[in-house]
Structure 1
Amino acid sequence: MTDLVLSEICDGVAILTLNRPEKLNALNYALIDRLLAVLDTVEVDHSIGAVILTGAGEKAFSSGADIHEFSTSVALGVDAALRDFVMRGQRLTARLEAFRKPVIAAVNGLAFGGGCEITEAVPLAIASERALFAKPEINLAMPPTFGGTQRLARLAGRKRALELLLTGERFTPRRALELGLVNKVVPHGDLRSAALELAGRILRHSQLATASILTAVTRGINQSIAEGLLVEAEQFARMAPTSDLREGLDAWIGRRQPSYSGSWSRAADTSEAARASPRGDR
């Protein structure tokens, strides 16, 4: 059986490829479940510091949900459609959004519906000049269901998001860049190298600090500033006892390149000591 998600490791970066090119990489239930399983494996692999997500073939990143499978769920009733389609898709986009390693979407073609929602959910995205985006769910008399009514408005603003959501019209990668949906647009042949280059710029730094920043931004963006600042302080407190922070400071003072261990061990030891202290002293 063809693997629905191809996996390749390149210099500490996992390149994951949605692999249903004959269906324009449409998101059926099996593909979503497989991608979630691969992400679970990648997350605990300490040799991997970042993820690039792209689509197989020359036409599509992902054309969205598999409509034939969705139609079958709808025919079974609202409960089945919610359970099998909506919740599964929302679980995937939430997983990508909250992943503690940077995920870069390399949008190589069509990114319609669920494919666009994946692009909205991941923290970083680079689009090929051949990419094409759309929020076409209204053409099926339904709203987006993988987070598209929520994340696009936060990225692009309410009015610009609603124009796309209520018309279903396609938009270019340059428009996606203007809306904040992607970080960069590159020639099609440069897409992989551009994604790897961005990942490499991130991987020079502490993976622990990267995870803390991703967590602080993802958790804080949907809260008030005051609540977000508490999340930020919490993430600093988690980093403060680590060898990575000490190494970063020592390297800066010594005017040398840091060498990070990426270990939480000192933080864990400090937390254990605090719990063991009768007064919780630090």
Structure 2
Amino acid sequence: MTDIVLLTVEGAVATLTLNRPHKLNAIDFATIARLHEHLDVLEADAAVRAVILTGAGERAFSAGADIAEFSGPVFAGPETALREFVRRGQRLTSRLESFPKPIIAAVNGIAYGGGCEVTEAVPLAVASDRALFAKSEIRLGFPPPYGGTQRLPRLIGRKRALAMLLTGDPIGAEDAKDAGLVNLVVPHEDLMDAARGLAARIVDKSPLAVAACLAATTRGLNLSIDEGLAVEAGQFARMAATQDIREGITAFIEKRPAVFAGR
């Protein structure tokens, strides 16, 4: 049976591919579970230093939650809907957001609903010039349940976010970049090369320092500046005892490339 989330590893970069192209890579229970399984493996693998997340096929990154499957729990009432639908999705986007290695979304097509929420949650995103982003949940009679009402305004501002949330209208890749939802837009055929290029510029850095940057930014974003600075200081203190910081500084002084061991 074909895996619903494909995993490949090339050097220090892993690629996860949502593999339900016949369903526009809609996210169902099995996809969520499989993503968690792969993330567990990749987090434990010290050789993997960055992850690219993309969708199979030419049409979609992900059209969002598999509503046909999730309709059962939703129709069963609020308690079941929260337990089976909302919390599962929020656990996934929170895991993607807090993962200690950078995850780069390579958005190859439509990213609607939950697919847009995944893009919001990961630290970095590269989009094909064919990509479209939409908060389509409003058309189905509910607000985004996987963090979209919280992360999107923080990324692109309240008014831009509410225009997407309240209308369900899609925006193109360039508008998404201008708003701050994605980092880079490239021709469709160059998408994976661009994502791998971005990953390559990260994986030669200290993996401990990369993890510290991710943690400090993610944790501090919703704190006051003073609390955020305390988080930043704590992450620096953790690095101060490592070999990586010694190697980085010594290599700079000796005018040579640093070689980081991640310890």
Give the TM-score taking structure 2 as reference length.
0.99
Deviation at 1:154?
A: 0.2
Partner of 2:194: 194
Aligned: 1:237 with 2:234: no
- 3-state SS in 2 of match to 1:205: coil
Kindly indicate whether the alpha-carbon contact (under 8 Å) linking 2:204 and 2:260 is maintained by their aligned counterparts in 1.
no
2:16, 2:70 → 1: CA distance? 24
Aligned: 1:162 with 2:182: no
Q: How does 1:110-189 map to 2 (within 5 A)?
A: 110-189=110-189
Partner of 1:279: none
Kindly indicate whether the alpha-carbon contact (under 8 Å) linking 2:177 and 2:185 is maintained by their aligned counterparts in 1.
yes
TM-superposition CA deviations, 1:155-214 (whole Å, max 9, x none): 011111001100110110011001100000000010000000000001121000000000
Matched letter for residue 218 of structure 2 = T
Kindly indicate whether the alpha-carbon contact (under 8 Å) linking 2:53 and 2:106 is maintained by their aligned counterparts in 1.
yes
Partner of 1:36: 36
- 3-state SS in 2 of match to 1:192: helix
Deviation at 1:75?
A: 2.0
Partner of 2:106: 106
Q: Which is higher, the Rg of structure 1 or of structure 2?
A: 1
- 3-state SS in 1 of match to 2:33: helix
Deviation at 1:13?
A: 0.3
TM-superposition CA deviations, 1:127-165 (whole Å, max 9, x none): 001111100111111000000000000001111100110
Partner of 2:220: 220
- 3-state SS in 2 of match to 1:68: helix
Partner of 2:93: 93
Q: How does 1:51-90 map to 2 (within 5 A)?
A: 51-90=51-90
Kindly indicate whether the alpha-carbon contact (under 8 Å) linking 2:177 and 2:183 is maintained by their aligned counterparts in 1.
yes
2:31, 2:79 → 1: CA distance? 21
Aligned: 1:254 with 2:257: no
2:107, 2:100 → 1: CA distance? 21
1:68, 1:79 → 2: CA distance? 19
Question: Unaligned stretches of 5+ in structure 1?
Answer: 264-282
Instruction: State the superposition RMSD in angstroms.
Output: 0.6
1:59, 1:33 → 2: CA distance? 23
- 3-state SS in 1 of match to 2:51: strand
2:249, 2:135 → 1: CA distance? 46
Question: Unaligned stretches of 5+ in structure 2?
Answer: none
Structure 1 segments, 4+ long, off by >6 Å, are: none
TM-superposition CA deviations, 1:70-125 (whole Å, max 9, x none): 11112222111111110000000000000000000000001000000000000000
Matched letter for residue 169 of structure 1 = D
After the TM superposition, which of the residue ranges 77-86 and 52-61 deviates more from structure 2? 77-86
Aligned: 1:27 with 2:27: yes
Kindly indicate whether the alpha-carbon contact (under 8 Å) linking 2:58 and 2:108 is maintained by their aligned counterparts in 1.
yes
1:133, 1:10 → 2: CA distance? 29
Deviation at 1:232?
A: 0.3
Aligned: 1:46 with 2:46: yes
Matched letter for residue 226 of structure 1 = D
- 3-state SS in 2 of match to 1:52: strand
Give the TM-score taking structure 1 as reference length.
0.92
After the TM superposition, which of the residue ranges 75-84 and 15-24 deviates more from structure 2? 75-84
Higher relative contact order (CA 8 A, sep 6+): 2
